[in-house]
Structure 1
Amino acid sequence: MALDAYSQIVSSVAAALTPKVASVRAGRGSGSAVLFTDDGFLLTNAHVVNGTSTGTVAFADGTSAGFTLVGADPLSDLAVIRANGPTPEPAELGDSDGLVVGQLVVAVGNPLGLAGSVTAGVVSALGRSLPARSGSAVRLIEDVIQTDAALNPGNSGGALADASAKVVGINTAVAGVGLGLAVPINSTTRGIVAALMRDGRVRRAYLGLVTTPAPLPPQVRERVGQSSALRVSEVVSGSPAAKAGLRVGDLVLTAARRPVSDAQALQRLMFADAIGRPLPITVLRNGALVDVITEPVELGPLTV
């Protein structure tokens, strides 16, 4: 029986990626990981490795190997591990910046320990922010991809791929029925991965804002010369953002005098060179432009 076009795409992505997505055992935790280099480096979630430094990876062809933790970044929920043995051909990392809402995506992973499982769906939304909490501390995973491809425990660390089998996200969470979340693969993520491979950690600046993208009214667009901004949905008590006077409901227009139209634009500023330096931010508040000066601090460790 001939497959329809949709089935052909999903089955081809499954055939291409299933051999390259490993099942991960790390202490009492388990999940998935995506092989992305010829020399055994795999990308997974920080919460999958959960503070352990060693474990095992197993591939669909039956081969398995021990792994060592190279580095983890809880803010992005990403970790790099390295297999201590032979591995298949690596997957190709894509670019999530080209995704559009409604686009077909395929999730490959090991939900509930069922190796090589594949589900398909669409990109439901882009630019989400996912708060990560540890006690009273709040950290943000920015620019998250939302999908309705079915995800379950064990999918974490697995691949979210486009129709050409390029990995555009690393599945990270299930927020509800039909609501899965994935960390995007983009220039920011690639920088994080490079830092983990080089230094084993990522030095991050921290403001203490939870934001969501928001369109600007036509009259405001003409006034400020941009069509969207970031709406502040939460300001962490005692954070640099709170000390600077930022408020829930503010629309962040610029940071470091650069337009801010999505979460990634702000996130790109939150690396080591921003720590302890004045950061000017302009917001729209009650129809007025308000300028504040923040001073990001170094993001402390987050227990995962």
Structure 2
Amino acid sequence: MLDTERSEAPIPEREPTAVDAAALDAYSRVVADTVDASSSAVVAIGVSDRVDDAGRALPGGGGSGFLFTPDGLILTNSHVVHRARRIEVTTTAGQAFAADLIGEDPHTDLALLRVSSPKPLPVLPLGSARALRVGQLAIAIGNPLGFACTVTAGVVSALGRSLRATGGRLIEDVIQTDAALNPGNSGGPLLDANGRVIGVNTAIIAGAQGICFATSIDTANQVVTELMRHGRVRRASLGLGAQNVRLPRRYVRWFELASDAAIRVMEVASGSAAARAGIEVGDIVVAFDGTAVEGIDALHRVLGAGAIGRAAMIRVLRRDRSIDVRITPDEFAG
């Protein structure tokens, strides 16, 4: 029989051990050493004289960024500098520079700036997100709410996340972290324990705690290359508007499709690649260039720069027929 009247003895509190103290001290040293080596290359970005499409003045703003070449190239977020006609960069040493916008890509929320200095500037080394592991140390440096050179630390919470950009495309390969971010951190670096940039801090979820995101530095490297070459990221376009659809099972069986997910054409722009190819409103796109199209995001992924001007086959379902149509994508102008 259980003795329900016997009170259980309280669990004694564990006294901190030398191992605990050593681990905490090691963690603090890693963070502090990383900040000492990195903070001089992190900059505050101030934006003024911002206008909308109609030329109306918009409120100024600001964010963070970081130098990654000694001749003054700076990475930040597109939304920090978008529509700005005047951008000022301030280093932790108090140096102020007028910055030129080389290019931006709202679809990955990245922008490239340049400042001119008579002397080489401090830089952050770029790492890679390919070898990241969930749980490893992540350090964020930025200017949240205007508080210069603020440091937060946490872990890599998840990998391979996706975020919807303002233009509707997905930002792929996003890093989730619990290193605290606030407005003003946008564009600042997310660092590993060796002080290498593994991501560009980009977003928080309002109302959530400890859920923050950074665009992978591997994505940023690709975008920087395009911005340096063209001032923009080149992508292909078919010139059609579409929506995701689920196909009836009889369609999947009859046309021997790999999936019931596809896209339905809702609009065809005049003079576009789709119009020239004879794509019609109501067509259901199931494949492009041999790759199944299981949604708008899947189509965006195959419409990279390499598809511009290159003829490919697009498969559509039109009423009771499956049709292969030859199409040559144009360059996306947005």
Q: TM-score range by the shorter chain?
A: 0.7 to 0.9
Question: TM-score, normalized by length of structure 1?
Answer: 0.72
Is the alpha carbon distance of 1:243 and 1:77 closer, same or farther for their aligned partners in structure 2, counting shifts above 3 Å?
A: farther
Q: Shift of residue 293 of structure 1?
A: 8.3
Alignment of 1:56-67 (within 5 A): 56-67=88-99
Contact 2:201 2:215 in 1 (8 A): yes
Q: Highest relative contact order (Cα 8 Å, sep 6+), 1 or 2?
A: 1
2:199 to 153, 156, 169: 169
Contact 1:68 1:84 in 2 (8 A): no
Is the alpha carbon distance of 1:192 and 1:152 closer, same or farther for their aligned partners in structure 2, counting shifts above 3 Å?
A: same
Is the alpha carbon distance of 1:7 and 1:204 closer, same or farther for their aligned partners in structure 2, counting shifts above 3 Å?
A: same
Contact 2:265 2:282 in 1 (8 A): no
Contact 1:244 1:293 in 2 (8 A): no
Q: 2:230 and 2:171 mapped to 1: Cα distance?
A: 21
Q: Which amino acid is the alignment partner of residue 31 of structure 2?
A: V
Instruction: Give the aligned partner of residue 226 of structure 1.
Output: none
Instruction: Give the aligned partner of residue 23 of structure 1.
Output: 44
Q: Give 1 or 2: higher strand fraction.
A: 1
Is the alpha carbon distance of 1:120 and 1:235 closer, same or farther for their aligned partners in structure 2, counting shifts above 3 Å?
A: farther
Question: TM-score, normalized by length of structure 2?
Answer: 0.66
SS in 2 for 1:157: coil
Q: Which amino acid is the alignment partner of residue 83 of structure 1?
A: V
Instruction: Give the aligned partner of residue 318 of structure 2.
Output: none
Contact 2:64 2:185 in 1 (8 A): yes
Is the alpha carbon distance of 1:206 and 1:18 closer, same or farther for their aligned partners in structure 2, counting shifts above 3 Å?
A: farther
Q: Deviations over 1:146-176 (max 9, x none)?
A: 1111000000000001110000100011123
Contact 1:255 1:266 in 2 (8 A): yes
Instruction: Give the aligned partner of residue 6 of structure 1.
Output: 27
Q: Shift of residue 191 of structure 1?
A: 2.4
SS in 2 for 1:155: coil
Is 2:104 aligned against 1:83?
no
Q: Deviations over 1:175-231 (max 9, x none)?
A: 232111111011x43221022122211112368999xxxxxxxxxxxxxxxxxxxxx
Structure 2: stretches of 5+ with no match in the other structure: 1-20, 49-59, 244-260, 269-273, 275-280, 293-297, 316-323
Compare 272-281 and 44-53 and name the one that shifted more: 272-281
Alignment of 1:135-174 (within 5 A): 138-174=168-204
Identity value in percent: 46
Q: Deviations over 1:50-77 (max 9, x none)?
A: 1224311111111111111111111111
1:185 to 217, 223, 229: 217
Q: Which amino acid is the alignment partner of residue 46 of structure 1?
A: S
SS in 1 for 2:84: coil
Q: Shift of residue 133 of structure 1?
A: 3.2
Structure 1: stretches of 5+ with no match in the other structure: 211-231, 248-253, 260-264, 283-291
Aligned residues: 263
Q: Which amino acid is the alignment partner of residue 192 of structure 2?
A: D
Q: 2:285 and 2:289 mapped to 1: Cα distance?
A: 15
Q: Which amino acid is the alignment partner of residue 67 of structure 1?
A: A
Instruction: Give the aligned partner of residue 142 of structure 2.
Output: 109
RMSD: 3.8
SS in 1 for 2:233: coil
Q: 2:158 and 2:312 mapped to 1: Cα distance?
A: 29
Alignment of 1:284-303 (within 5 A): 298-301=331-334
Q: Which amino acid is the alignment partner of residue 155 of structure 1?
A: N
